[in-house]
Every structure is written in structure tokens, then in C-alpha cells.
Amino acid sequence: MIVIVPYHPAWPEEFKALARPIRAALGLLALRIDHIGSTAVPGLAAKDIIDIQLTVARLEPAIDEALGTLGYHRVDSISQDHIPPGGPDDPLAWAKWYYHPPEGMRPMHLHCRVAGRPNQRYPLLFRDYLRASPAAAEAYARVKIALARYHASDADGFYAVKDPACDLIIAAAELWAATAGWQPGPADA
């Protein structure tokens, strides 16, 4: 069931609590750990699921081993991100590893992506653009709320509309990034 809830001010602290053990387990394997997704945008309605991006130099077995010590397990069927129109066709540009959290942990998604690839940049730019553009964030919230109302039990239907809406937002974010000179800031954890 897809449910969109009002922004909760505890989400940033919940991210930090989730990120600390990941940072400790991965050490230098983790180049960055960032709070991404809607819960990372103050004031934005979202699913109550914390999204974390783990940035690494390469996808390698040591990552599985380190995260496995914390109880995370990789979902082999999720190995690539959605490619936005105009994005590079190279599947490696969109490759990722996705992990389910340990049993009993608060709902969260852990996305492991390689530094410098388009799919690693996308969620950081998307988040920062929505933080800088309250009107875009509010419009995005309205889209998600409407989609959840009509597709609460249909994840495929929800994402069939949400992904193209995100593609529109990232196109605007790319223009903003070019004019604002955007670069990713320091990692969140």
C-alpha cells in the first residue's frame, strides 16, 4: 500500500541513526553516505521510508560483506535505475546495488551507486533542486498525493506516472544546476 504522509521533522535524525552503523561498517569503502529522496527535502510530503545513497568507488563483494554484518541483504532483481530521456544508454551508467534492511528496522531503502555515474548524481541534484525550489517541491508533492490516491495498491501504476514526473523535475534541475553552478555538497554522513 502506497501512503504519502506530511513531512516529519524527525526524518533527518532517523537518517543519521541509520547512516552511523553503515559508515562504521564500510569505513573507507563508503565515499559518501547521503540522505536522498523526499524525506530529505524539508516540508515535502513523502512515503515514510528513508532513502539512503551509499556512494562507492566500485561495486565489489566487500560491500556485501560489510553490509551483511549489519543484517542488510542485496536484492539481485534490482540492479539498475530508471533511465531518464536523454540519459546515457550505457547500462553501467545506471547500475546499482539495492539492499533491504535487517528485519525489524524502520522502513528504508539503501541504494549503492558508483561515484561519478549519472545515477549517483541524479538523486543528489534532484534533492537539492527541490530544496531550492519550494514551488517545484509542492507540485511534486501534489503529484505523489494524487497518485497514491488513485494507485495506492498499484505500485506499477504509481511509478509509471511518477518516473516521468521525476524526469520533468530533473530536466528543470539540470537547467538550475547549470545556471547556479551546482555541485554536490559534503556528504550527509
Q: Is residue 1 part of a domain?
A: no
Residues of the domain holding 165: 11-180
What is the tally of structural domains in the chain? 1
Domain assignment present for 73: yes
Q: Please name the amino acid found at residue 158.
A: F
Task: State pTM to two decimals.
Answer: 0.97
Q: For 71, left (φ over 0), alpha (ψ -120 to 50), or beta?
A: left
Q: What is the CA radius of gyration of the chain?
A: 16
* Residue 168 is assigned to a structural domain of this protein: yes
List pLDDT tens digits, range 67-108. 999 999 999 999 999 999 999 999 999 999 999 999 999 999
Domain assignment present for residue 5? The answer is no
Residue 189 lies in a domain: no
Sheet (strand 32-36) strand order:
32-36, 50-56, 108-114, 97-100, 73-74
Tell me whether residue 186 is in a domain.
no
CATH number at 163 reads 3.30.460.10
15 in any annotated domain: yes
Q: Is residue 6 one of the residues assigned to a domain?
A: no
Question: 7-41 pLDDT, tens per residue?
Answer: 999 999 999 999 999 999 999 999 999 999 999 99
